Structure 1
Amino acid sequence: MPTISVVPAIAWTTNAKVVGCMYLGAALSFGASGMLLSWVLRGEIGGLGEQLLFGDHHLYNVLITS
């Protein structure tokens, strides 16, 4: 019995409902990661000294430029 892979059927479809669900999932995941980065950077800038990134200035610069 041949095996059927589900991933290529979902990833390369023209069905509007499937494409819409994939778009919504991508938008929610990218929005959540952007919100998390925003909270981290606001927490780091919001106070004096080292808060969230523990003084890692290189990581701060990477997050700012990403």
Structure 2
Amino acid sequence: MYSLVATILWTTNAKLIGCIYLNAAVCFGTSGLLLSWVMRGELGGLSEQLLFGDHQLYNVLTTS
């Protein structure tokens, strides 16, 4: 296991670096998309729908 982690973290292989970059972009893009859906759903509704009235959680999501 340590060998795999060391290989990934200290690699100079351009293809492996590209795969790591692509995986990170997909993960961060997906999390951003989910956060934007939650915020749009919260603002678009007539009442508190998604965050159950927790205004502090909405503030945390907005600033994250």
TM-score, normalised with respect to structure 1: 0.91
Structure 1 position 36 matched with structure 2 position 34: yes
Larger radius of gyration between Structure 1 and Structure 2:
1
Structure 1 segments (4+ residues) deviating >2 Å: none
- Aligned pair count reads 64
Structure 2: gaps (5+ residues): none
Find the counterpart in structure 2 of residue 55 from structure 1. Answer: 53
Distance 2:43 2:8 in 1: 42
Q: Which has the higher helix share?
A: 2
TM-score, normalised with respect to structure 2: 0.94
Q: Offset at 1:4?
A: 6.1
Find the counterpart in structure 1 of residue 11 from structure 2. Answer: 13
Q: Offset at 1:15?
A: 0.4
Distance 1:58 1:19 in 2: 38
Letter in 2 for 1:52: L
Letter in 2 for 1:46: G
Distance 2:62 2:4 in 1: 38
